[in-house]
Structure 1
Amino acid sequence: MNTTPGMSRESNYVTGAALRGLSHTDVVRAFLHEALTRPTYDVPLPISVLNASASVRETAA
């Protein structure tokens, strides 16, 4: 499973960032910075439609 789609060095996303003067490392560091400095959520995250339908099937069985 590709857990980081579009983040290979040849991907369109990274290629587009390069056109703006950013390296692959710059892009990865920006993502990490955003993830590590973002405030924690104070509300429950929404339930995925896929997970919700799975739990409905389990309850029905």
Structure 2
Amino acid sequence: MTTPPPDGLPVYRVLTGPDDAAFCRRVSEALEMGYRLHEGPSVTFDGERVIVAQAVVWPGA
């Protein structure tokens, strides 16, 4: 039996935001909690800045 993610978080999450240090910290925090990257990131440009999306999954989900 797998333990659930902490704080009632879902087993699958998509983190999004500008490609900056704050976004990298959010992904790093999810990895430190125990989440694993799901595939590679998606990247787009909104006309002003680069926006990134990264899916993470809880192990065993």
**TM range, normalised to the smaller chain?**
under 0.3
Greater strand percent: which structure?
2
Which one has a bigger Cα radius of gyration? 1
Greater helix percent: which structure?
1
Per chain length, whose mean CA-contact separation is higher, i.e. which structure has more relative contact order (CA < 8 Å, sep 6+)?
2
